Copies of this chain bind each other. A is one copy, B any other.
Amino acid sequence: MSGQDSLAHLRDLTRAFARERDWEQFHTPKNLAMALTVEAAELAEHFQWLPTGADHELDARKREGIRHELADVLLYLVQLADKTGVDLHAAAVEKIALNAAKYPAGQVKGDSRKYDQYD
């Protein structure tokens, strides 16, 4: 990466990839969001009939499929963030802070219920 941050690097790679193919015309935020849900589902498909998806449940073929689908999700995510002007890292750090306030560690320990189900 020669010092460039990984997310910035991927943003640059995806920009070049789309430009070289004249695919920017298809990459509206709406289309990218739709493509992202499709890739997320293809990722989920690898796990749907497994008990938990733990390492010993996965063979080499599944591992490769999972790695490729994780990549596809990230690539569309980076492109959608780029089109909507969102700094992904900053947004994620902000969201973790919001989640920490919504689910205080002392209150939700070991409990997976959604925050709005707490009284």
Contacts and interface: CB of A to CB of B under 8 A. Distances in A.
Interface of A: 1, 5-7, 9-10, 13-14, 17, 20-23, 25-26, 28-31, 33-38, 40-55, 58, 61, 63, 66-68, 70-75, 77-78, 80-81, 83-86, 88-89, 91-96, 98-100, 103, 105, 108-110, 112-113, 117
Contact of A96 (B6, B37, B45, B75): B75
A73 B95 CA distance: 11
A35 B113 CA distance: 13
A70 B84 contact: yes
B68 A73 contact: no
B28 A52 contact: yes
